Structure 1
Amino acid sequence: MKREEKISSFGFINVDKPSGIVSSTVVNKIKWLSGVPCGHMGTLDPLASGVLPVGIGNATRLFDYFLEKEKEYVAEFTFGVDSDTLDSTGNLIRGGHVPNETEIAEVLPQFFGDIMQVPPKYSAKNVNGRRGYDLARAGIDFELPPKKVHIYGMECLGMVEGKEDTFRIKIRCGGGTYIRSIARDVASALGTKAVMSALRRTQSGIFNLENAIPFSVLEADPTIEELEKLVISTENVLPFSPLALSDKQEIKLYNGQRVAVDCADGFYKIYQNGIFYGIGEVTNGLAKAKTKLC
């Protein structure tokens, strides 16, 4: 049953997704609570928990500006075991040795910077019109091409207490990086096997665990008024400076015309009558409205 009321504040709700549910469960809950279209800004596997920013209403138009932002994860890699899914939810096969913390720390820098990474077969990657996980579940053999991703840094945080084969790894990376693939590749560099056995996203751009709300808050069915208090405005999440324009320039820009400006190339927040309405782009001294939210 749909709610009769609809939210009036468009922006983002940053949710701390628990392990064991799919990201769409969070999105659908917020969609029902708000009464408007919603979407998440980078899925988390059911096994994973942590930061899941959900765009509400026209805020979903801004996703492209966040895709390459830095993300941070704390993962657990279990060594001496392999899996068809590259994580602990798949068919596990024991094999290979368990390295020590020093050995793991020594190979991590090999993966810093731009690297070519082969995604897991059990992923949403498109293969001739079909999802990789659908083909894998059907037993169809296929290969996924490597994709360039960026790793800002990794750090071995030590052995997980009570699990001599499992180590905790902090990873800072760009968008599109598969942590399951990192587990596979780090283990391969050590001459062994490993799977991702736990994952928590601690940061995605400006969104982090400190400004995230537990999913249980949404499960309690907050009122529209209560929901609006959880929304982070679109204006506040964008890392761009305001574009200084005259009243006439504001009107021209809003109506789709280009205007001459004296500022560096790049993206800017644009306003009309003091009201934020979108993203402008400046190229060679000319500004245009790139993404309008109203």
Structure 2
Amino acid sequence: MDGILPLWKPKGWTSHDCVAKIRRLYGTKKVGHTGTLDPEVEGVLPICIGQATKLVPYLTDTKKTYIAEVTLGVSTETEDSTGVTVEQAVVREDFSVEQVQRVLDNFIGYSVQVPPMYSAVKVNGKKLYEYAREGLTVNRPERTIHIERIQLLSDIRREGKRVRFCFLVECGKGTYVRTLCVDIGDRLGYPAHMSGLIRTKTGSFDRNSTYTIEEIQQAKERNEHLDLLLPLSAGIAHLEKIEADGEMADRVFHGQKLKMPEGLTGTKQFRIQQGGRLLAIYKPHPLESGIAKPAKVFHYEQE
């Protein structure tokens, strides 16, 4: 049993909760998720089953799309609405849509971000949130992030001393939207936090292609849950595809090196398929020019 289950993660569940539930529903331990979502966040969370677990790093690396709400006037220790208040201020300006969009535009492209203390980033083998829960603060490693698009989605809403607005962001791996909300507030001159977040897309998977836990349970009751699984190739649609003939398929099966195919754009990894079946992912050989070596090879049970 191999495939990708495009799950819509519900609020209140951890990513691990989702994995545990799918393990029970599909009767297998070989299950992995493709990018942690905090419990209070809902959204697209592809689940990999069987050999698809080999694709977890590739899906984790894909572009993500979120809809976030930022609240100006209060910051928290967790940078979201679950944390203890750190700073408060009365928002006196009436920001225009144009003003806010200009600030958002400044975040497009590459920039440096410091992950929040309440995060799973490891420092000296220990997760940052473990230090934070002990009341400790440690130096956090900076990381380069990339934001492809960021767009204001709502009016600027005043609620007493606070101001709220929603924005859409398309970003690369490792971007903390919580921290982005704090940085947006800083550019506008006020403490801020992320007061809501939905992940609407991961790689090629969007909200319309997902199933809820309830829908998966109902499919299980009808013995149709296997029909919900997508082929492995759906998880790496962003990689260029090479169609293998019989000879190439045999060489791939045995993990042999190949000549780099002609016509590829750049020197990135590519996928090799035979019909609709994913055979392998290959990458340029680091020591042999014009040669590709296997990064992942997939072996299927005889049907």
Q: Which consecutive segments of 4 or more residues in structure 1 shift more than 4 A?
A: 160-164, 271-275
> Residues 67-86 of structure 1: CA distance to partner in whole angstroms, max 9, x if unpaired?
33221100010110010000
For 2:193 and 2:199, the matched residues in 1 are separated by 17
Q: Does 2:74 match 1:78?
A: no
Aligned counterpart, 2:229 = 231
Task: Indicate conservation of the 8 Å contact 1:96/1:193, yes or no.
Answer: no
The 5 Å alignment of 1:17-56 reads 17-36=9-28, 37-56=30-49
Aligned counterpart, 1:215 = 213
SS, match of residue 159 in structure 1 = coil
Counterpart code for 1:278: A
Q: For structure 2, which runs of at least 5 residues remain unmatched after alignment?
A: none
Counterpart code for 1:254: F
Aligned-pair CA distance for 1:24: 1.1
Task: Indicate conservation of the 8 Å contact 1:23/1:43, yes or no.
Answer: yes
- CA distance change for structure 1 residues 14 and 161 in 2, over 3 Å: closer, same or farther? farther
Aligned counterpart, 1:5 = none
For 2:92 and 2:53, the matched residues in 1 are separated by 43
Q: For structure 1, which runs of at least 5 residues remain unmatched after alignment?
A: 1-7
- CA distance change for structure 1 residues 223 and 118 in 2, over 3 Å: closer, same or farther? same
- CA distance change for structure 1 residues 61 and 116 in 2, over 3 Å: closer, same or farther? same
> Residues 101-139 of structure 1: CA distance to partner in whole angstroms, max 9, x if unpaired?
333222111111011001110000112221111111111
Q: Does 2:110 match 1:105?
A: no
Counterpart code for 2:89: G
Aligned counterpart, 1:89 = 82
RMSD: 2.3
Counterpart code for 1:270: I
For 1:162 and 1:188, the matched residues in 2 are separated by 18
Q: Does 2:290 match 1:285?
A: yes
The 5 Å alignment of 1:59-208 reads 59-92=52-85, 93-97=87-91, 100=95, 101-159=97-155, 163=159, 165-208=163-206
SS, match of residue 107 in structure 1 = helix
Aligned counterpart, 1:258 = 257
For 1:272 and 1:206, the matched residues in 2 are separated by 21
SS, match of residue 242 in structure 2 = coil
Give the number of equivalent residue pairs.
Answer: 286
For 1:167 and 1:141, the matched residues in 2 are separated by 30
Identity of aligned residues (%): 31
Aligned-pair CA distance for 1:279: 1.6
SS, match of residue 220 in structure 2 = coil
What's the TM-score, normalizing by structure 1?
0.88
Aligned counterpart, 1:3 = none
- CA distance change for structure 1 residues 214 and 162 in 2, over 3 Å: closer, same or farther? farther
Aligned-pair CA distance for 1:288: 3.1
Task: Indicate conservation of the 8 Å contact 1:29/1:218, yes or no.
Answer: no
Task: Indicate conservation of the 8 Å contact 1:124/1:131, yes or no.
Answer: yes
Counterpart code for 2:250: I
